[in-house]
Structure 1
Amino acid sequence: MKNPLKVGIIGAGLIAKEAHIPNYQKCENVEVVAVVNHHIEKAKQCAEQFNIRYTFSEVQEMLEKVELDAISICTPNKFHADQTIAALQANCHVLCEKPPAMSIQEAKAMEEAAEKAGKILSYGFHYRHTSEVETLKRFIEKDELGHIYAAKATAVRRRGIPGWGVFTNKELQGGGPLIDIGVHMLDTALHLMGYPEPTTVLGSTYQEIGNRQGVGLLGDWDWKGFSVEDMARGMITFNNGASLIIESAFAANVEKQEEMNVSFYGNKGGADLFPLKMYQEKYDTLLDVTPRFLPDHSAHEKLIFDFVQACQTGKKPSSTAKQGVILQQIIHGLYQSAQNNKPVLF
């Protein structure tokens, strides 16, 4: 048997403890050997919970003292680029939580570091691994939707401002719902559309609810220190002629408590993702196609397995560094367009 894939974890918060570490420990021939957190007590608590050998308070110390093959980065967005590049330079494969970074320049630097090191850089877009997305992808690959010329991505909560973490801190996160939950539906849409490159981005952002006290369905948030948007909307056109509309909100006066969905419009069929339903015209008949059964599995577990398999076999991971740059271009374009009140051209 080959030596186990030795994994280090940067960040000991919820995403590390609920999504990354337990799923690595389900993989064959993989060992999580180290965890680092700037609060060493959090690292020690995490290590004790998951029986991890080494704990550190500094990333560089872990990279220098422990022989590692792969790193998961589970820290606030501000630290993604520096930590990813440091891990790649230490000859490690990297799975970085979404979004890639805080800017286009950072995402490009991460891609270049991966190319220079000859290592894998992938991102934590677990929605790609849901049964709905995997099923629709198979239909799209069989040309059941034809040319997808338009899409709509929605990630909207009625009152879902996180009452924990740094999600409302622009300095650490780079933005609000667009860069946190909207990025999931944006990546899902791009993934199923073949990841076209943007040509024009037009965006608007709003801060109408989050900066005042109110009902919090995800806990009480720091409304006095709320420095991100509570809603972002935009439209993107692509180099293949397609277009996408995106709407994302932590808090909006809507009926549903939360809606995470992507709708696709193709010349042979259309689809909604969550729940999955397809719309076609065949044999002079309009059809609605609904799966009778979809496998029930953990998307995070499949995300980690995909990354591990790529590290162990050299197989291309589902999410790539190049796609991370394209995604970051769109996010940056939406924020820049909103700030300057004019379209951003690529």
Structure 2
Amino acid sequence: MIMDLRVGIIGAGGIAKDVHVPNYLKHPDKVKVVAVADISIDNAKSLATQYDIQHVFTDYKEMLETVELDAVSICTPNKFHAEATIAALQAGCHVLCEKPPAMTVEEAEEMEKEAEKAGKMLTYGLCYRYSAEVRTLKRFIDADELGHVYAARVHALRRRGIPGWGVFTNKALQGGGPLIDIGVHMLDTALYLMDYPEPDTVLGVTYQMLGNKKGVGILGEWDYENFSVEDMARGLITFKNGASIIIESAFAANVEILDEMSVTLMGDKGGADVFPLKINQEKHDTLIDITPSYLPKKDRYELQIEQFIHTCLTGEEPISTARQGVFLQKIINGLYESAKTGEAVKLS
């Protein structure tokens, strides 16, 4: 059993600086962040200086070869997730890779195989699983309060929320737009609460109606002239157990609410809206709604890092598994393929 987790960071951008490193450092008795690698030496040095990280690299392969590490956080653009994850696993490290798993299904499957071959843990940064609402609802579902959850509706919608920083509008580096960036969070939340059924068929459409035009930017000005991703995606997903999910995701859409992240579940004994949490049931010939009067509000990112540390040290299975990552990637890529061809896509 590892007694003192030595962690390396691949990618020194905002998610590493604001989420991964500071939350690792909340556990000085268990974790040491000892190395960072980024293709930008300035970014790497800045992160290292801010958090007193000893080793700095521009090549993560050199980091993996020269520094003794037990675990690695992958915080790069999506295009580099698979390559960096596989290299870290082959170097004998446990891996926490930011969402989405990869760019393609083949990459996600190869990542899963490498984790199994190395005997190391691979988990993904699907942080909404750790929210108080999801953790509470999961207990109700495990107690059969909703029965068989056979349908869900997922929204990740922004009225004018195209990121004005990073590479979020670059298809070559990200693989897509809102579906693969924010839609993936709510999709994973629904799948997790539905016990991750195996996907069967998807039908998707995508739009580029607003992102390639100059307009109001709540999240800063974006490069509309080089906007290469969808600004909206919609889809229907069916599963081998008969369940289904309807998904809508947008960086920019003419809707009333500025920012909506929501999941609605429907089961044969009850249903639920997750954000905010409300459980809907029929009991004693009465339709009732149950809302919690109190939920603990510990930060979901902090809990995610805590869980990663715990599983690294104990060998327990992570909440988010590599197999689930493959299912998630199949759905995302299937929706994009369906939107491109105009036809439903069979995933199995």
Q: What residue number does 2:321 align with?
A: 320
Q: What residue number does 2:37 align with?
A: 36
Q: Secondary structure at the match of 2:224?
A: coil
1:11 to 2:32 alignment: no
1:337 to 2:342 alignment: no
Q: What residue number does 1:172 align with?
A: 173
The 5-angstrom pairing of residues 76-225 of structure 1 reads: 76-225=77-226
Contact 2:3 2:313 in 1 (8 A): no
CA drift at 1:3: 3.8
CA drift at 1:296: 1.0
The 5-angstrom pairing of residues 186-335 of structure 1 reads: 186-335=187-336
For 1:314, the aligned partner's letter is G
Partner Cα separation in structure 2 for residue 40 and residue 149 of structure 1: 49
Partner Cα separation in structure 1 for residue 207 and residue 322 of structure 2: 30
Q: Secondary structure at the match of 1:112?
A: helix
**Structure 2, gaps ≥5 residues long:** none
RMSD: 0.8
Partner Cα separation in structure 2 for residue 226 and residue 197 of structure 1: 33
CA drift at 1:339: 0.1
Q: Deviations over 1:265-310 (max 9, x none)?
A: 0111010011000100001111010000000111000000111100
CA drift at 1:2: 6.1
The 3 A distance-change label for structure 1 pair 83 and 342 is same
TM-score by length of 2: 0.99
Partner Cα separation in structure 2 for residue 99 and residue 67 of structure 1: 27
Q: Deviations over 1:218-247 (max 9, x none)?
A: 000000000000000000000110000000
CA drift at 1:8: 0.1
Partner Cα separation in structure 1 for residue 231 and residue 112 of structure 2: 30
Q: Secondary structure at the match of 2:145?
A: coil
TM-score by length of 1: 0.99
Q: What residue number does 1:50 align with?
A: 51
For 2:319, the aligned partner's letter is S
Q: Secondary structure at the match of 1:224?
A: helix
Contact 2:2 2:313 in 1 (8 A): no
**Structure 1, gaps ≥5 residues long:** none
